[in-house]
Structure 1
Amino acid sequence: MSFCKDCFKGVRHDGTVEGKMETIAGIQCYVGTPTVDYPKDKVILYLADAFGLPLVNNQLLVDDFARNGFKTILPDYFNGDPVPEDIMTSGKSFDIPAWIGAHNPGVTRPILDKVIDALKAEGVTSFAAVGFCFGGRYTFDLAFDGVIKVAAVSHPSLLKVPEDLEKYASTAKAPLLINSCTTDEQFPLSAQAKADSILAGFAPGYKREYFDGCTHGFAVRGDMSDPKVKAGKEGAFKATVEWFHEYL
């Protein structure tokens, strides 16, 4: 597994978080709960980028999904060891290969499964997953395993193209939304075109949004002072909310 330089760049967003930390199956999670009545049997799993649960950008997006009527849960699938936030802007060195090795699917997926099993025991029957960067890999894997009812990814990382797209088309049942952009080493224009080609006839549902002038990470760590990036972040969020309202 590998990342690109843009996986570790971005801007910390301002805002006051409204959710709360909860422990689910022994795993720390950030939970956004709607203030209005909502379906108790449905949950969005927010599968974060490498900066994980502590990054306020991720928590604010969880709150945004909750504000749109979905209970949303961000599990700490890095077990207290996300990529440090300060490398986003400092250029400080960080041993990425060692970090990836410590958070491979054999380590990370069981943490996620614990949370899912606990939520099922509480009566949740329908899961959606929204994956950003690192979380895109796990969104695909949960769809492959039939765990989620609907999937959305923004600038996914760690996918094998075309293999994962072909596997999605042949084995997954979850409608898939991909939020893509202009500059993305992890999911470049060629991969975007391949996704359209392979998934064009995907019966459960497929849609790809494209945000011009945006770079990998835009939907969660984008610079809101750049009008194109701001439009991209807001557009990707709107598209995802609409996708979940249609299919979850």
Structure 2
Amino acid sequence: MLSAFSPDKGCQDAKPIIAALKNKGISAVGAAGFCWGGKVVLELAKSSEIEAAVLCHPSFVNVDDMKGVKCPISILGAENDHISPPELLKQFEQALSLTSEERHIVKIFPGVAHGWTVKHKADDAAAVKHAQEAHQDMLNWFIQHVKKEHVN
């Protein structure tokens, strides 16, 4: 079942959508990927399709995947993540420093687990605060790195 929704397929499915946006006059596109969507966005970041990328608690991503990134990339991770633990995220940051000239940031949020940006208890004030902070970080990244253009 998961193969029907593979990151490679997701990347290929996204390209015509991005092309359609650009055909409508949108000249700059940013993309965010959550969990397995992080791998999709990472592949888009290597293709020159997007101008900025954000990965939130990525999965199916390894250190070699960082090679070839062509746009600014922000990786937002969780302290308590068995899928992408902080040690792996630090390796991502090191690989980006060595293989990409683009701006990048890796931020690890304390006390949260994989999926915290979209799956948290609404009555957990700390979890809500960290999710809101991650969403604001993502928005700020796009404001900073995606050029604002007028649509005709």
Q: TM-score, normalised by structure 2?
A: 0.86
Q: 2:86, 2:108 within 8 Å by CA — same for their partners in 1? A: no
Q: Which amino acid in 2 is paired with 1:109?
A: C
Secondary structure at 2:19's aligned position in 1?
Answer: helix
Deviation at 1:242, TM superposition (A): 1.1
For structure 1, list consecutive stretches of 5 or more residues without a partner in the other structure. 1-98
Secondary structure at 2:137's aligned position in 1?
Answer: helix
* Counterpart in the other structure of 1:145: 47
Secondary structure at 1:124's aligned position in 2?
Answer: coil
Query: 1:127 and 1:181 mapped to 2: Cα distance?
Result: 26
Query: 2:8 and 2:38 mapped to 1: Cα distance?
Result: 16
Q: Is residue 236 from structure 1 mapped to residue 138 from structure 2 by the alignment?
A: no
Q: Is residue 188 from structure 1 mapped to residue 90 from structure 2 by the alignment?
A: no
* Counterpart in the other structure of 1:74: none
Secondary structure at 2:54's aligned position in 1?
Answer: strand
Q: 1:212, 1:228 within 8 Å by CA — same for their partners in 2? A: no
Query: 1:232 and 1:137 mapped to 2: Cα distance?
Result: 22
Query: 1:213 and 1:106 mapped to 2: Cα distance?
Result: 31
* Counterpart in the other structure of 1:75: none
1:98-177 equivalences under 5 Å are: 99-105=1-7, 107-159=9-61, 161-165=62-66, 167=67, 171-177=68-74
Q: 2:81, 2:113 within 8 Å by CA — same for their partners in 1? A: yes
Post-superposition CA distance 1:106-162 (Å, at most 9, x none): 543332222122212211211101111121011100011111111111101111x22
Greater radius of gyration (CA): 1
1:202-221 equivalences under 5 Å are: 202-221=100-119
Kindly report the root-mean-square deviation, in angstroms, between the aligned alpha carbons of the 2 structures. Answer: 1.7
Q: TM-score, normalised by structure 1?
A: 0.55
Query: 1:126 and 1:214 mapped to 2: Cα distance?
Result: 32
Q: Percent identity?
A: 26
Deviation at 1:187, TM superposition (A): 0.9
Bigger shift: residues 197-206 or 114-123: 197-206
* Counterpart in the other structure of 2:95: 198
Query: 2:34 and 2:132 mapped to 1: Cα distance?
Result: 14
* Counterpart in the other structure of 2:150: none
Query: 2:4 and 2:129 mapped to 1: Cα distance?
Result: 35
* Counterpart in the other structure of 1:179: 76
Displacement over 6 Å in runs of 4+: none
Deviation at 1:105, TM superposition (A): 4.2
